[in-house]
């Protein structure tokens, strides 16, 4: 059984989708803990209600990113994870922290990377008149939103879209591709070829919503 620790900062709907898929599809894995940097994160309630261990490491209680990351790593490593899943986790992580979890930490980013790394992806896509938007699951590297891509989902940007309508359309697809990506990893279905992640069985690593 692979052990998964999920990091959240807020609502936790992606975490919820992963918890539910893990149970429904009987993955060879368990969600060992959910950790938040915000004590008020809504997702903590869902995790606790499902019998999952929760922890809070409040970034506001730490004077530097290094000190916060050290405490965060302690909370995570208490659960000996095989995989760390960033699910709406909103703190940039230091290179030392990323190195400690190299090859076993993934993130979902709400854009079609390499377009729009960083924040406010949907607003920026609308402002620039993009016709296609989406989300990307990628391995986390020290460079923000730049790690090897596991799977992407694409959705149209529709006339009249606002940040709220576009982000909702993308979120529906996030809830499809993030559980899929985690399932692939815990069942050892992925391979790295020249730095590119490929599904050994040839399953599509693109979802079009
Ligand atoms: N850390 C590293 N080193 N590499 C990545 O690829 C990371 C990461 C930490 C988080 C998620 C990412 C996203 O999917 C992620 C990927 C937060 C920010 C940010 O600017 C940017 C990207 C992501 C997450 N955070 C502000 C900060 O100062 C705080 C913003 C807030 O609290 O609302 O850390 O988009
Ligand atoms: C998701 O859309 C996720 O892609 C995005 O925040 C939302 C979290 O929702 N992540 C980031 O913007 C990371 N910077 P959730 O808490 O309901 O999963």
Q: What CATH number does residue 50 fall under?
A: 3.40.50.170
Pocket test for ligand 2, best of 12, 46, 88, 119 (most atoms within 8 A of CB): 88
118 with 151, same domain: the answer is: yes
Per-residue pLDDT of the chain (209 residues; tens, 9 = 90+): 999 999 999 999 999 999 999 999 999 999 999 999 999 999 999 999 999 999 999 999 999 999 999 999 999 999 999 999 999 999 999 999 999 999 999 999 999 999 999 999 999 999 999 999 999 999 999 999 999 999 999 999 999 999 999 999 999 999 999 999 999 999 999 999 999 999 999 999 999 98
64 with 136, same domain: the answer is: no
- Calculate how far, in angstroms, residue 6's C-alpha sits from the geometric centre of ligand 1: 15
Closest ligand to Cα 175 = 2
The closest alpha carbon to 16, from 37, 58, 44, 54, belongs to 44
120 with 67, same domain: the answer is: no
131 with 170, same domain: the answer is: yes
Catalytic residue among 50, 62, 109, 122: 109
84 with 163, same domain: the answer is: no
DSSP 8-state symbol, 131: S
109 is catalytic: yes
80 with 120, same domain: the answer is: no
28 with 85, same domain: the answer is: yes
N- to C-terminal Cα distance for the chain?
32
13 with 82, same domain: the answer is: yes
Residue 156's Cβ-side half-sphere holds a number of Cα atoms within 13 Å equal to: 3
The structural domain count of the chain equals 2
85 with 134, same domain: the answer is: no
78 with 129, same domain: the answer is: no
Q: Which residues lie closer than 8 Å to 112 by C-beta, 6 or more apart?
A: 132, 133, 134, 135, 136, 152, 154
Counting Cβ atoms within 10 Å, is residue 74 exposed (0-12), middle (13-18) or buried (19+)? Answer: exposed
Which atom of ligand 2 is found nearest the CA of 8?
16
Which of 45, 70, 101 marks a domain boundary?
101
DSSP 8-state symbol, 86: E
DSSP 8-state symbol, 85: E
1 with 97, same domain: the answer is: yes
Q: Is the pTM of this model over 0.75?
A: yes
- Calculate how far, in angstroms, residue 87's C-alpha sits from the geometric centre of ligand 2: 6
203 with 187, same domain: the answer is: yes
Cβ of 36 closer than 6 Å to ligand 2, yes or no, is no
For 203, the domain range is: 109-209
Closest ligand to Cα 122 = 2
Residue given tokens 């960033």 in the structure block: 86
């Amino acid at each position: 059984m692979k052990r998964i620790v999920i990091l959240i900062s807020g609502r936790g709907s992606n975490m919820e989708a992963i918890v539910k898929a893990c149970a429904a599809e009987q993955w060879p894995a368990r969600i060992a803990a959910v950790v938040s940097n915000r004590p008020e994160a809504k997702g903590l309630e869902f995790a606790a209600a499902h019998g999952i261990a929760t922890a809070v490491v409040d970034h506001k209680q730490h004077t530097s990113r290094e000190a916060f990351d050290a405490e965060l790593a302690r909370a995570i490593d208490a659960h000996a994870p095989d995989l760390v899943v960033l699910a709406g986790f909103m703190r940039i992580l230091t290179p030392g922290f990323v190195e400690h979890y190299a090859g076993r930490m993934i993130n979902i980013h709400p854009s079609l990377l390499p377009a729009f790394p960083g924040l406010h992806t949907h607003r920026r896509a609308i402002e620039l008149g993009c016709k296609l938007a989406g989300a990307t699951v990628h391995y986390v590297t020290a460079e923000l939103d730049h790690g090897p891509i596991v799977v992407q989902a694409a959705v149209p940007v529709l006339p009249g879209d606002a940040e709220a309508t576009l982000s909702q359309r993308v979120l529906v697809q996030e809830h499809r591709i993030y559980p899929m990506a985690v399932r692939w990893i815990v069942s050892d279905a992925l391979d790295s070829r020249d730095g590119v992640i490929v599904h050994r069985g040839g399953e599509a690593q693109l979802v079009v919503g």
